Amino acid sequence: MSYVKLTKEQLLIEIDNKSKAIINMGQQLTAITPKMETFDIFLIAALNRTVNISKAYTALIRDNNFIAAAPLVRINIDTLLRLYASIISEYDRNTFASKVMGGELIMKMKLRGTKQNLSDSLLYTEISKVKNMEWVTDIYKAGNSFVHLEKSHIFSSLKVADDKERIINMSIGFHDSFVPESEKFGSAVWMNKIIDSIIQQAQIWTYEKAQRVGFDIEKLNEIKS
């Protein structure tokens, strides 16, 4: 889908619809087999985090609170990176999940076949090597600017009224009127792409699980929550 051809509200509706699809994925996991694997628990937690962060994002954007919504883009990227870490870590997926649930930090784990720690920088660098995922590094870094009090926060509270006279308007209030619409639109585009990628990561596991137990993958499309 070409997200740039949609309106901001249409992008938000896309996010809401994706959350419904993610919730349905939980039903698909149990339909494959009622026997839970450790990674199932990790994945369900990641997907639950995603739908709740996404719901908060769309609500805040609609409430003209971009300042609070923008950091949530970065949080969903965090979820994406952690799911990808389960693929490239030194452990198999279930052991990876067990280690995380036991309190081991992902950043202390190693990239498979190396002595490199799975730091955020390594994770976004590695996933950016995947075809059509080159954007992750830039969006991760852009997202950080909304988590920490930096330039992006300063300029979201002011607007140049007269460049020649060097006059600016500043404001404290419950609004994001000084944030360009293009920036809000862009964040909604990237939020959609991030959620698409999270869904893709979940589908990889779901298909792997179905193949292991001999479940017909096509039947997953018949399952509705």
How confident is the model over 60-108, as pLDDT tens digits? 999 999 989 999 999 999 999 999 999 999 999 999 999 999 999 999 9
Quickly list H helices, the chain. Answer: 8-32, 38-62, 66-88, 93-101, 120-127, 136-147, 151-155, 181-213
Half-sphere exposure of 69 (CA within 13 A, CB side): 27
User: d(Cα 35, Cα 191) in Å, to the nearest integer?
Assistant: 32
A 10 A CB-CB count for 112 gives 13
CB 67 within 8 A of CB 179: yes
pLDDT at residue 196 greater than cutoff 60: yes
User: What are the tens digits of pLDDT across the range 132-145?
Assistant: 999 999 999 887 76
Number of folded domains that form the chain? 1
| Angle, CA of 192, 220 and 55, to the nearest 5° | 30
Per the structure, the complete domain to which residue 10 belongs is given by 3-222
Global pTM exceeds 0.85: yes
Phi, psi of 167 (to 5 degrees): -105, 130
| Per-residue pLDDT, 218 | 84
